[in-house]
Structure 1
Amino acid sequence: MSFVHLHSHTHYSLLDGAAKIKDMVQRAGELNMPALAITDHGNLFGAVEFYKTCRAHGIKPILGMEAYIAPRERGLRQKVEGEKDAYHLVLLAKNNTGIRNLIKLSSIAFLEGVYYKPRIDFEVLARHAEGLIATSACMSGQIAHKLRTDRKDEAIAHAEKYLQLFGDDFYFEVQNHHIPDELAVYPKVYDLAREMGVKVVATNDTHYLHHGDDKAHDILICLQTGKDRDDPNRMRYGTTELYMKSPDEMFQVFKDKPHVLENTMEIFEKIDAELDFDRRLIPRFPIDAGEGDISESDYLRKLAMEGARRHYPSLGKEVVERMDYELGIIEKMGFAGYFLIVQDFINAARERDIPVGLGRGSAAGSLVAYSLGITDVDPLKYDLLFERFLNPERISMPDIDVDFCVERRDEVLEYVRDKYGRRNVAQIITFGTMGSKSVVRDVSRVLKVPLQTADAIAKMIPLEGNSPIPLKRAFEEVPELKELTQNDDPVMRELVEYSMTLEGIARHNSTHAAGVIIAPTDITDYAPLCKSSQGDIVTQWTMGYCEEVGLLKMDFLGLRNLTVIKKAVDMIRERHDPEFDIRNIPLDDEKTFELYGKGLTTGVFQFESSGMQEYLKKLKPSRVEDLIAMNALYRPGPMDLIDDFIDRKYGRKEIHYLHPKLEPILKETYGIMVYQEQVMRIVSDLAGFTLAEADLMRRAMGKKKADVMQEQRQKFIDGCVANEIDKKTAASIFDHIEKFARYGFNKSHSAAYALISYQTAYLKAHYTAEFMAANLTSEITKLDRVKVLMSECNKMGIKINPPDINYSVADFKPLDAQTIAFGMAAIKNVGGNAIRSLVAEREENGKFETLFDVTRRVDLRQVNKKVLEGLALAGALDSLKGNRAQLFMAVETAIDFGQSVQSRLLQNKDQISLFGEGGDGPTMEISEPPLPDVPDWDTNEKLKKELEMIGFYISGHPLDDFLPIVNLYSTDLTPFTHSDEKTAPTNGQQTPRVLYICGQITGMRTRYDSKNQKMAFVQIKSYDHDFDAVVFSSVFPQCEPFLKQGQIVYVKAGLNGDLNSDTIRIRVDAMYSPGQVPAQFTESMKLTIPGNLLTNDTLYHLKLTFASVPGTQKVYWNFDLSPDAAIAMRSAKNGVKLTLPTLQKLADILGYENIHIKRIERG
C-alpha cells in the first residue's frame, strides 16, 4: 500500500513540532515514501529548506501549511460566542500559482490577522485560492468541530464554501490517533462525505519522528504554554501516536477504509510545484527625471567618474583603465542598479551626519565603490583587487556589507523604506534554537529540577569559541556530565534524554542583526513575511534562503566603534577644535604608532585583546600596512607566522623569495603570504591567469577537492613554465600557495578595519579623555566592559568622578584632560527623560543646592520618586546638602514639597516670583523642610547600594583595603577575559586551571550532598569578575568559618569550564583570611627599582619599611640602571615578615608593577 504524509509539522511549528527537517526527510526516505508535505502552523518558515532537502533525497516536496481560519473577519480581535478563536485548514501548493498564493496567505495572516495566532478569513482565502489543494484538517478544523458539537448544518455550509473555492481539490481529512473524540467524529465525516460527494483523505498529524518521542514533544508543549509537566490543568495532546508512521502502520489504522490512503497518492499525483532558484530580483533605481532618459549603467558611469575626479583630479591612465574595466563588468553582469542603490543610501546617511564605515569585506577592492562613496579606502594605494569582490567568471550576486553608527542604523533603514516602498523592504528573520546550555535549562524548568542544579549542569558544558559544544560531546568529554547519563535519579535520566532529543529545535524567531531585503515589487510576490518577536516586519525565510530565491540582500550592520568615533569627534569639536575632521588625520602619526607599540590598545578597535597587545609590543608598528597585516595575521592559523613576520621586519631573519617575481608581491609583508589578494597576484603574474581565474583557483583551494586541485596545479605549473619559471620552482610555489590558502585573509576587509582602528588609536593618543568617555558611553549597559574601561582610565591617569546631579549628563563626559564625569544613564531607574529634564533645568538656572531645590525646579512627572531614590543611592546627590541616608529618606517629603510649590506657583503665576528675586510684584518665600536627623550609612552600606543601582562600585570598593592581595597574590585573568574581542586568541597562553582569588562573598546557599554531608554554593565578586563557587563537603569544614555574607576571602580554587562566561565557575580547594596571606603564601619577594626611582629618598623609605618588619622571607633586589644595565642581588641580612600594611607601603614607594611575589602553592 502506497501512502504519502500530507499533514506534517516540523520544528518550525514553534514549540509544537519536535522534528528537524533533515531528520524528517531522511525518515521519509527510510520509509520509501515518494513524497512528503510540510504543513507547519500558519507559516512557511521551513519551505525552502524543506524543498531543497527533499530534492536532495529524491523525494517530491509538497509545500503547504496548516492555516488558521478566523471565525469571522481576520481583523476582528475578540472572542466570538460559540466559535474557536481560529480553525485549522490544510493548504497544499498544487502548482507554482499555489506557491505564490500560499506566500500571500501566510503573509496576510501575520500582518493583518493575528489574534493569538496568525489567521486568514474566507474573503482573503477566496482571493488566493487558485492553485491550492485544501483538506479539512484535524479535530480543530471547521468540519470536524461542527460535527463534534452537533452542528451538521454549519459543517455542510462550510464544506459548500470550500467546494465552491477548490472544487475537486477539496478533501475531507480523517485521522486516527486513538483519541476518543476522533473515534466519535470521523464516522460522521465519512457520512457527510458520502452525502456531499467529497473525497476523504487519511493523514497522521505528525509532530515528531518516532514512537516514544511524545514525551520530549510534551516538554515543548509545556514550554509553549509556560506550564510545569505535572500541572493537571495544562494542555496535553493525549496520545502517543503523532509520529511519522510507515505506510504499513497507516494501513493497519485505516484497513477498513483503504481508499482514504489511496487518495493521498491522488493528491501526490496532482502536485507540480517548483521553487525558482534561477532569478535575480534587483529593483530598479529611481533616477531623477532631471537626468533625462538615461540608463542605470550610464547613470552609474556618470556618478562614478565624477567621484573618481574628486579622488584623482588628474584622472591618470591607471584610474581610467581600472574604472572602465570595473564598470564594464558591473554593466555586463547587470549590477548597475545594485551599485546605485547602495551609494544612494550610504550618501543619504552621510548627508544626515550618520557615521558610515570605511568599508567592509571585499567591496573595498572596488575603485567604482570608492569613487561612489560606498567605501573610503583607496584600492590603488593598498593594491586591493576588484576580482576578489566581483568575479566575472563566477556569476553571483555582489555582496556589499555596510557598517553604520549603531545608534542610528534604523534611520538608514527608514530612508530605504521611504525610497523603495514599505511593501518592498523588509528585514530578515532568524531563529533562536535550543542550544546545549539553553535546552538543559528549558527542560529542567519543565521537570522542576531546582534552578541551581540546572544552572550548574548548564555551566559544565564547555564553550568552543563563543558557542557551547553539542550535548553528545559534552556528555562524553566532561566527567561530571557523563555521570549524569548513568544517574539512578529518573528525573536526571529524563533531563538527559529529552535535552538530547530537543537540542537544536527552533524555539523562537527574531530579527537578523543586519540583513535587509529590497525587492523590485511587493516582497510577498516572492517570499512570505511575518512579524518577529521584536515586532519588526521580516521575511519568513532566513538570509541564505532569501538569497537562493533571487532576492537582493543587503547587510546594514551597526558598528559600535563608529558611534565611539562620532561621539569623541563631537566632544573634540566642542572642547578643542570646531574644524576637527577624523578623515583628515595624518596616517603617519608618531604618537599613534607609539600607542600601538606599547600595547596600550584597550578600547582600540580590533587590536585590544591581550594577545594582540603582546604582539604589538614586539612589532612596534610604524606604518598602516603593518596594522593591516597584523589584523589579518592575528587569527587561528596564521598566528604562527607573526613572530616570523616581526623578525623579518627587523632584519633578524632573512627574507627569501622562491622566485624573484614574488618580491614585488610579497615585499610589503616581508616575504610572507598574508592576504588572499597576494595569492591572486602570484597566480596571475607568474602563471598568466586572469585575476578572475586566479580568484576561482583560490576558492578551489579553500574547498580542498583533490581532483580540482590536481587540475589547477597542472594549469599553474604549465602557466609558470610558459613564463620561463622552471617546473620544480613552479611546483614548490604552488605547494606554498596551497598551504597558505587554508588561512589567507581578505586584504580589503583587513585594510578597511585597520584604518578604523587607526582612527580610534589616534583619538586615544591625542584626545584621551574624549575617546574614553565616548567608549564608556557606548558600553554603558555592559557592566564588565565599563569596569575594564574604567580600569584603563585609572591606568592612564584619568579619574572617573562618581555621578553628580550638578555635573553629569546622560553620557560619560570629559570635564578636563584628566577627569571624566560618570554618565547618569548608567544608574538604574534613571531614564532619558528624567536626565534631560535635570540637565535642561541646571543649564538654564544653575546648579542645584538642596534636594528641595531640585524638586521645586524640575518636572516631577519625569524626575519622580524612583529617579530621585536611584540618584541618592548611587551617590549622585552627594553635592547637595545632607548625607546620603538623609537625602534618600527625604525623597518623599521633597516631592510633596516640590509639588506644593509648583502648584502654588501655577495658581499665582501672574503675581508671584518664586525665589523673591526680580520683578516688581509680591514674592512667595517658601521655607524648605529640614532633612531627617539620621546618621549617614557606613562605607560598606554605601558601596552595597551603589552596586545595586549601577552594577559596580564607583566611590570605592570593598576590596580597597586588600589591594596588595589583589595585585600581588591573585591570578591575573585579564589576558583571558578583559577585551570585547571574545574570539581573539590569547597569544598561546594556557588558561590557568588553578586560580587564586581575593573577593567578597555576595551570596551563599548550603545544602547536604548524597552522603548527607554539608556543602555550599557561593557567589564571590572580585574587582573585575563574578564567580560561582562550589564548596564540596571535603573542604567545607576548613572553609566554614569564612562562609558569611559580605566576608572578604582569599580562595584557592580549580576552574570548572572556561573563562569566557559572564560568571566564572570554580571549585573551592581552600579559603583564607586575606590578612593571613602575606605570611602564609610568600616564599620570596623581588623588588625592581627603575632608574627614575633610584634616589636616596626611595632607598631611605625602603630601609625604614624593612627595619620595622624583620623576618625570614627572602628579598631579592633588581636595580634597573639603564635599558642595557641592571644589577640583581639578594638581601645579605635576614629577610622580612610581610604584612598587608608593609606591602601597601612598598606599593606606595615603588608601585605594584615593581613588586613581584613568589607565591607558595598551598592546598
Structure 2
Amino acid sequence: MSQRERRTFVHLHNHTNFSLLDGATRIEQLVSHCCAEGMRAVAITDHGNMFGAVQFYRKARDSGIKPLLGMEAYLAAGSRHDRGEASAGRERFHQLLLAKDQTGYRNLMKLSSVGYLEGFYYKPRIDKKILAEHAKGLIATSSCLSGEVPQYLLRGDYEGARTALGELVEIFGHGNVYVELQDQGLSEQRQINPELIRLAGELDLPLIATNDCHYLLKEDAQAHDALLCIQTGKGMSHPARMKFPNNEFYVKTATEMWDIFAEVPEAITNTEKVAERCNVVLNFEENHLPRFPVPEGQTLNDYFESVVHDGFERRIEALQAGITGKTNGSSGWASKHDVEQYCERLEVELSTIVSMGFAGYFLIVWDFIRYAKDAGIPVGPGRGSAAGSLVAYALGITDVDPLEYGLFFERFLNPERISLPDIDIDFCMRRRGEVIDYVANKYGRDRVAHIITFGTMAAKGSIRDVGRAMDLPYGEVDKVAKLIPDDLDATIDAAVSSVPALQEAISKDRKVAELVNLARQLEGQVRHASTHAAGVVIADQPLTNYVPLYKPPAGHGGNQEHAVATQFPMNDVEAIGLLKMDFLGLRTLTVVHDSLDFISQDLGKKLTIEDIPIDDPETFKLFASGSTSGIFQFESTGMREALRKLEPSRIEDLIAMNALYRPGPIGSGMIDEYIRRKHDPTKVKYLLPQLEEVQKETYGVIVYQEQVMQIASDLAGFSLGEADVLRKAMGKKKPEVMASMKEKFIDGCKTRDVPPNLAKEIWDQVVEFAGYGFNKAHSAAYALLAYQTAFLKANYPVHFMAALLSSDHDNTDKVVRYISECREIGIPVLPPDVNESNVSFTAAGETIRFGLAAIKGVGEGAVLAILDARDRLSGFTSLFQFCEEVDLGKGINRRTVESLIKSGAFDLMTIQEDNDPDPGNIRAFLMSSLDIALESGQRRQRDRQMGQTNLFVDLETEADGADRRSSSLPVSSAVPWTEREILAAEKESLGFYITGHPLERHRDQLRQFANATTAKLSQMNSSREISLGAIITSIRDLKTRKGERMAVVQVEDLDGYAEVVVFPDAYRACYSLLNEDEVVLISGRPETDGDTARMIAGDIQPLRAFFEQKSHEKASEVQISVTLKGLSEGVPDQLRNLLERHRGEVPVSICLQRSSPRGFRAHVTPNRFLWVTPSPELVAELEELLGSDSVHFRR
C-alpha cells in the first residue's frame, strides 16, 4: 500500500468549541490542522447543535478543504416529549448524523431545531419518530460508546444491538448507515469493537473509523480537562467529577489512524468515500427578505413611493408650521433649507432605493414603526447612519431632519457598494416585545426569531475560571487576574509580555505558571449561548429552511414568550441572506414616556416631545453644570467634567461632545482642543476658505465622518458615494485603498485650483482626524434624545426623577444614587404607603412617592390586589382591615405583609392624632399583631366565599370594628424597635435605607475626615491613599494558598456600594470588626477591575471611635441624652459616679426627654464637679448605661 493511500483519511466525528464547555477545538485550528495534514475533507459534529456550521463551512471552503456538515444528536430512548417521571430510567443516546446534500442539510437543521424547541430536557433531544420524518439526505452511524447500539453491546445484549442497528437501516436506508469504530485504548472499546464488526458483516453495512475528537492536539488534554471542570463546576481534585479516561481524544493524523485500525483498513478508506458522498453547498448570494403585502393593483415600488410622498408632505407641513425643530417663540418655516432642496434630495434617495431593490425593506420597517407609534409605544428619533436618510425621515422611521443637521444619505446607503441597508430601531424598554409580536403575527411566527450570541472566556475570566478548576485559593487567583490590563481587547499573551509583575509571578511560582498556561489555552473559548439583546430575523419562508433554531433552557430565557433564536450568530445569519434587524429596548425612551405621563397626571399638562424647544436655556444650564446623572449618553463622570469645561450652549455642541467622548479622541486631545476653540475663536484656523463651511460648526476640528466625506466632495470632486468609500478606507486604515485615493484626491484638488502642497496638507489633516471621526447621524439622533431627557430634568425634575427611579427600581445601586441626588436637589422621596403608593415610583406635587412593587417580597400581582381593595374602600384604616379586604389569594402572604410593615408602608395609616408617631413603636406593634390580623383576614375571606353568616354577626362586626379601630394604638407588650432595627428592616425590605441611614448622623464628619465615596472609587488614582466611611453589608471569608485568612467585604455608604478586599495583614489587625452592619472607616487604595471599582484595605477602624477621638480633642461640651424610660432605679447614681471617674475640664449638658420626639424635653447642666475629660472610654461607658447614640460632642 502506497504512502499516499495510507494518508487517505477523513475525520468524521469532531467536536468544536461549539459543543459548549465539552469540545475545545476551535474551528479555524481544526481546518488549518487538517489542511496541514493533507486531509481532503473534515466534518464537524457538535452535540445537538449546528452553532458553528456556517463559520466552519466558510473557513473550510476558503482554505481549500471540503466541509462536511453534521451533528451528534441526543436521541431519546422513548419520546422526545417525555419529561420528569415519564423519562425516569429511560436513557438518551448519542446519534451521529452527516448531511449528504441540500435535503439532508435542511433535515439536519429541522432535527436540531426540534431538539431545542420540542425535546429539550437537560439536553436537546430528538426521537426515532422525528428522525424517520427527516431522514432523507442524511447518513447515520452507530455512534460512539454512548450510542444506542454500543450501549446494548456493553450490557451484553447482542440481539438488542442488532435490532437497534436494524432500526437505523429502516429509517435511513441500507446505503446510508455505517458502523462506527473508535479505539482510544479503552477496555469497553476492546469489548465491543469485534461485535460491531460482526454486526456490520451480518447486516452488510460498511465500517468507518473515527476518533470522537474533543481537542486538537494530544498536549491539549489538560486544558480540555479544565474545560470540563468549568462546565460541571467541580475542581480537578473532586473525586466524582466528569473526566475523560485518557488523552487520546485529539485530531490524530491519518498515519496514526491507519496504525490504530490496521486490521480493518476499509474503516479508514470508507471515511474518504463518505466525504465524497457529502456535497452540501451553502448559498451566500441570495437574500430571503419577506414579501411586503401591497394593495391590490399596485406594484411594490409604486406603493413605496406613494407612502414616502405622503409622509414627506406631512414633514413639510410641520416645517411650514414651525412645529419641527422649534425654538422658543418660533413660528413659520423652521429650516435653513428651502422646499426645493428637500424635494431634490428626496427624489435622489427614492431613485437610489428603488434601483437597488430595497423598497420592500423600507416598507417593512415603516410598517412596524407605524404600528408602534399608533399603539403609543415610544420609538427613538433614530440610530446609526439611517438618520442620514430623508426617505427614512419622511416615513417616520427617524425623527432627525438630515438636511438641517448636514447628514448624508450615502453614509447610510451607498450606491457604489451595494449591500443590504441596516436600520436599527430603539423602542421603549417595557413595550419592545409588543413590536416583535406584531412582526411575528404579520409575517408568521415560524418566520421570525431572535438571534443567538455566544459569550467567550476573556482574559481575566479565563484566569478566574481555570483558577477555580485548579482548586486554587481565591486570593491567589484574584491577584493574578488583576495583573491583566482592563482593556476590553487585552489578552493573556499581551499581558505576559508587557506586565513585569505577571512575568515575575510566573517565574517564581509553578502553580501560577500552570494557571496562566491553561488559561491562555482556553482564552476565547465559547462559554455559553444566549439571546442577542436586540437582533431579530424575518424571513420569507419558515426559518428552518435556512437556519436551525435554538431556545434557551428555562431559567436562561427559555420561559420567555419569544425566546426562540437562530442557532447561527448575527454575521452568519446575514451571510446566508436573512434579513436582520435590531429591535433595541432603550430605557431612556421609557423614562421620557413616563416623565410625560407623570407631568400629565400630576399637573394636567399634555406635554409631547414635539413641544420641547431646541434652545431652552435651563436645559443648557443643566448640561453646563454637569448635573447630568440619569441623562442618556452624558452621565459618566468624565463626560460631566468635560461638559463643565465646555459649557455647551447649542445642540451642535452636544452632538460634537457625544461624538468626541470616546477613547480615541480623548487620548488625542481632541476634546480639549474643541473646548479651547469654543471659548477662544481666535484659535480657529482654516487651511482654505472653502473648509470653513465644512468645519465651522465644530470650530475647525474634524469630528465627523460626514466632514471627511464633504471635504473629499467639495475640494476634490468625489461623488458622495466615492467619499464614503474613502471614509471607510481611512477608518479601517486600508493602505492600498488610501494610496490610490490620495492620488485621486490631490488631482481632484488641482482641478479646483488648490495648490498640490496645500492639498497634501489637507489630506494629511483629514487622515489624522478620520481615524477618530464618528458617524454624525448617530451622534445627532442620540444627542437630540439626550437633550429631550435633560429638558425634562431641568424643567420637571420631580417627574423626571420619579420616572428615572421607576425605570431602575430593580437596580439598588442606581436607586441609592438617584435618591441621594433627589435629596441633594431638595426633592423628598417619601417611604412606601399602602394608601398613597402605586405600583412604581410616582410624582406627587414636589415629592416622589416610593412604589409598592419596589419592596422586596411584594410582587406586582400583590400590588394590583392591594390597589384594587384600596380603590374599593377609598383607603385602608388598619392592618386588620387590610388583611380582611385585600384578596389573600393573589400573592399576599405573611412575607408580603411583613415586608410592607418593615418598609414603613403602614406607618401613616397607623398614626392618629393622639398617637405616638415613633416608627419604632408602630412597626413593633404591627409585627406583633400580624399573625392575628392574617388569621382574622383569612377567616373573614373564607366565610365570605362560603356565604356564611351567624346569629351574632352584628355583635361580632361591632366588636371587631372596635378592635380594628384600636389596632393602631401602641400596646406595652410590643417592645419598640430601636433606630438600628428600623433601618435594618428597611434595608431588608427595600434593599437600602429610606427614612435614614446609619451614616447620616456622621455626614459632616465624613466630609471632614473621609476623602472618598463609593461613587468616586472608579475615578480615583490607584496610587492614592484614601479613606472611606461605610457600613459592612456582607463578608466572604477566604484563605490564601498559604492558608492565611483574608476577606472580601461588601460595604455601603451614602452614595452606593463597593467591594473591599482585606488581605491577610490587614485581616489580622481588624478581623474582629468584620461584622455585618458594622460602621467603619477604611483606609487603603482604590482599584478598578473592568467596570468594577473596589478598594484594597490597609486599615479598618470603628467609625464612631475614630470620630469621637477626633471630636473630643476639641470638644467644648459633652451632650448626654437620657429618656425618662431610661431613668430606671439606680441610673442617676450610676451616671454621677461615671462622670466623676472621668472628671475633667469640659462642661456636661444632660437632656431629659420622652421617647417621642414630640414629647417633653428638659435640659440639666451639672456643676463643675461633674465636668469630664472626653475619651472613647467615656463614650463606651455612657452608651452601655444609657443606650447607643446617647452621647454627642459640641465643638
The TM-score range, normalised by the shorter chain, is: 0.7 to 0.9
Shift of 1:632: 1.1
CA–CA separation in structure 2 for the residues paired with 1:821 and 1:419: 41
Structure 1 range deviating more: 362-371 or 20-29? 20-29
Give the corresponding residue for 1:302: 306
Contact 1:915–1:924, Cα closer than 8 Å, also in 2: no
Give the corresponding residue for 1:68: 74
Structure 1 range deviating more: 725-734 or 409-418? 725-734
Give the corresponding residue for 1:872: 901
The residue matched to 1:509 in structure 2 has which SS? strand
Give the corresponding residue for 1:1152: none
Give the counterpart letter for 1:345 in structure 2. F
Structure 1, unmatched stretches of 5+, are: 979-985, 1085-1107, 1111-1136, 1141-1163
CA–CA separation in structure 1 for the residues paired with 2:491 and 2:516: 13
Give the corresponding residue for 2:888: 860
Give the corresponding residue for 2:1026: 995
Give the corresponding residue for 2:1154: none
Give the counterpart letter for 1:618 in structure 2. K
Structure 1 range deviating more: 278-287 or 997-1006? 997-1006
Q: What pairs with 1:301-700 in structure 2 (closer than 5 Å)?
A: 301-313=305-317, 316-449=339-472, 452-453=474-475, 456-457=478-479, 460=482, 464=486, 467=488, 469-473=490-494, 485=506, 495-533=515-553, 534-535=557-558, 536-639=563-666, 640-700=669-729
CA deviations on 1:173-219 (whole Å, 9 max, x unpaired) are 10001111111111011122222222111000101122243344334
CA–CA separation in structure 1 for the residues paired with 2:241 and 2:1044: 38
The structure-2 alpha-carbon separation of the partners of 1:486 and 1:429, relative to structure 1 and needing over 3 Å to count, comes to same
CA–CA separation in structure 1 for the residues paired with 2:1044 and 2:950: 77
The residue matched to 2:445 in structure 1 has which SS? coil
Give the corresponding residue for 1:1132: none
The residue matched to 1:835 in structure 2 has which SS? helix
CA–CA separation in structure 1 for the residues paired with 2:86 and 2:885: 52
CA–CA separation in structure 1 for the residues paired with 2:1110 and 2:858: 46
Give the counterpart letter for 1:380 in structure 2. L
The residue matched to 2:816 in structure 1 has which SS? helix
CA–CA separation in structure 2 for the residues paired with 1:186 and 1:810: 66
Give the corresponding residue for 1:1090: none
The residue matched to 1:807 in structure 2 has which SS? coil
Give the corresponding residue for 2:14: 8
The residue matched to 1:241 in structure 2 has which SS? coil
Give the corresponding residue for 1:140: 146
Answering whether residue 921 of structure 2 is matched by residue 885 of structure 1, we say no
CA–CA separation in structure 1 for the residues paired with 2:976 and 2:429: 42
Structure 1 range deviating more: 370-379 or 111-120? 111-120
Structure 1 range deviating more: 757-766 or 214-223? 214-223
CA–CA separation in structure 2 for the residues paired with 1:940 and 1:604: 35
CA–CA separation in structure 2 for the residues paired with 1:461 and 1:87: 44
Answering whether residue 848 of structure 2 is matched by residue 848 of structure 1, we say no
Contact 1:7–1:37, Cα closer than 8 Å, also in 2: yes
Answering whether residue 249 of structure 2 is matched by residue 242 of structure 1, we say yes
Contact 2:1026–2:1086, Cα closer than 8 Å, also in 1: yes
Give the corresponding residue for 1:1121: none
CA deviations on 1:5-45 (whole Å, 9 max, x unpaired) are 11000111122212222232233234332321100011100
Answering whether residue 979 of structure 2 is matched by residue 939 of structure 1, we say yes
The structure-2 alpha-carbon separation of the partners of 1:61 and 1:971, relative to structure 1 and needing over 3 Å to count, comes to farther
Give the counterpart letter for 1:308 in structure 2. F
Give the counterpart letter for 1:263 in structure 2. N
CA–CA separation in structure 2 for the residues paired with 1:143 and 1:1079: 80
Structure 1 range deviating more: 273-282 or 576-585? 576-585
Structure 1 range deviating more: 761-770 or 124-133? 124-133
Shift of 1:350: 0.8
The residue matched to 2:675 in structure 1 has which SS? helix
CA deviations on 1:778-808 (whole Å, 9 max, x unpaired) are 0111111112211221221111112222222
Answering whether residue 178 of structure 2 is matched by residue 178 of structure 1, we say no
Structure 1 range deviating more: 5-14 or 228-237? 228-237
The residue matched to 1:423 in structure 2 has which SS? helix
Sequence identity percentage? 44
CA–CA separation in structure 2 for the residues paired with 1:945 and 1:477: 50
Structure 1 range deviating more: 735-744 or 878-887? 878-887
Shift of 1:1037: 6.4
Give the counterpart letter for 1:694 in structure 2. A
Shift of 1:1046: 3.7
Contact 2:1013–2:1029, Cα closer than 8 Å, also in 1: no
Shift of 1:557: 0.2
Contact 2:284–2:577, Cα closer than 8 Å, also in 1: yes
CA–CA separation in structure 2 for the residues paired with 1:461 and 1:836: 51
Shift of 1:578: 4.0
Structure 1 range deviating more: 151-160 or 548-557? 151-160
Shift of 1:464: 2.7
Shift of 1:46: 0.7
Q: What pairs with 1:1134-1149 in structure 2 (closer than 5 Å)?
A: none
Contact 2:15–2:46, Cα closer than 8 Å, also in 1: yes
Shift of 1:1052: 1.9
RMSD after superposition:
3.3
The structure-2 alpha-carbon separation of the partners of 1:90 and 1:914, relative to structure 1 and needing over 3 Å to count, comes to same
Give the counterpart letter for 2:974 in structure 1. V
Give the corresponding residue for 1:1066: 1096
Could you tell me the TM-score, scaled by structure 2's length? 0.84
Contact 2:390–2:409, Cα closer than 8 Å, also in 1: yes
Give the counterpart letter for 1:936 in structure 2. P
Give the counterpart letter for 2:53 in structure 1. A
CA–CA separation in structure 1 for the residues paired with 2:480 and 2:173: 51
Give the corresponding residue for 1:897: 936
The structure-2 alpha-carbon separation of the partners of 1:522 and 1:1015, relative to structure 1 and needing over 3 Å to count, comes to closer
| Count, aligned residues | 1071
CA–CA separation in structure 2 for the residues paired with 1:689 and 1:887: 78
Give the corresponding residue for 1:103: 109
The structure-2 alpha-carbon separation of the partners of 1:377 and 1:1016, relative to structure 1 and needing over 3 Å to count, comes to closer
The structure-2 alpha-carbon separation of the partners of 1:856 and 1:494, relative to structure 1 and needing over 3 Å to count, comes to farther
CA–CA separation in structure 2 for the residues paired with 1:952 and 1:673: 47
1:705 counterpart (734, 746, 752) = 734
Give the counterpart letter for 2:193 in structure 1. Y
Shift of 1:513: 0.3
CA–CA separation in structure 1 for the residues paired with 2:739 and 2:239: 66
Shift of 1:488: 5.9
Could you tell me the TM-score, scaled by structure 1's length? 0.86
Give the counterpart letter for 1:275 in structure 2. L
Structure 1 range deviating more: 28-37 or 892-901? 28-37
1:130 counterpart (126, 129, 136) = 136
The structure-2 alpha-carbon separation of the partners of 1:624 and 1:469, relative to structure 1 and needing over 3 Å to count, comes to same
Give the counterpart letter for 1:543 in structure 2. M
Contact 2:95–2:143, Cα closer than 8 Å, also in 1: yes
Give the corresponding residue for 1:958: 998
Contact 1:912–1:922, Cα closer than 8 Å, also in 2: no
Contact 1:355–1:566, Cα closer than 8 Å, also in 2: yes
Give the counterpart letter for 1:418 in structure 2. N
Contact 1:1054–1:1069, Cα closer than 8 Å, also in 2: no
Give the counterpart letter for 2:741 in structure 1. Q
Structure 2, unmatched stretches of 5+, are: 1-5, 321-337, 911-920, 1115-1144, 1148-1172, 1177-1195
The residue matched to 2:700 in structure 1 has which SS? coil
CA deviations on 1:887-940 (whole Å, 9 max, x unpaired) are 2232222100211233344455789999999xxx99975634866712222112
Give the counterpart letter for 2:54 in structure 1. V
The structure-2 alpha-carbon separation of the partners of 1:462 and 1:844, relative to structure 1 and needing over 3 Å to count, comes to farther
Shift of 1:427: 0.4
Give the counterpart letter for 2:74 in structure 1. Y
The structure-2 alpha-carbon separation of the partners of 1:838 and 1:180, relative to structure 1 and needing over 3 Å to count, comes to same
